[in-house]
Amino acid sequence: MSRCRVLRESVRSLSRDGQEFVLSYALGVLETTDNSQCCIQASLKARDGLGRDSESGCTVAISHLQPELGRRIFELIAEAEDPVFPVHVPDIVRDQLSAAHLVSVEPCIREGRPAEATSEGPAS
């Protein structure tokens, strides 16, 4: 059995083309008997001009994620200039994780002379 413990929430609403949208975002920890995962949820409630309601949502669970990175990705989604619809959340999370992993790769390549050599020749 798993349980999602919510750490942060955010709600946004907007009107566009005669429709009303309410977008909810949540950052949480999905706890299972084996481990825990960072969980980012997005849900959309929409009402069209005729008063018909619809709902959609998405949950992305990420294993082995540093809490700070999970918080930063959540804030990027929840505080975006334009509201982020649930269908786009998995792509945003994937892109941000890829970028974070690329940024954290720091190769140490040494070229040229060995450390003991100087411009005056090798050390004696």
Question: What are the boundaries of each domain within the chain?
Answer: 3-102
Who contacts 77 (Cβ-Cβ below 8 Å, separation ≥6)? Answer: 25, 40, 42, 84, 89, 92
Both tokens assigned to 40: 């980012």
* Whole-number pLDDT of residue 1: 46
Q: What CA–CA distance (Å, rounded) separates 67 from 36?
A: 11
Q: What CA–CA distance (Å, rounded) separates 84 from 99?
A: 19
Both tokens assigned to 29: 């920890």
Which regions in the chain score pLDDT beneath 70?
1-3, 102-110, 112-124
2 in Cβ contact with 31 (< 8 Å) = yes
List, for residues 82-108, the tens digit of each pLDDT value.
999 999 999 999 999 988 876 555 566
* Whole-number pLDDT of residue 65: 83
46 in Cβ contact with 20 (< 8 Å) = yes
* Whole-number pLDDT of residue 116: 56
Smallest CA-to-CA distance from 60 within 33, 92, 100, 23 is with 92
* Whole-number pLDDT of residue 102: 64
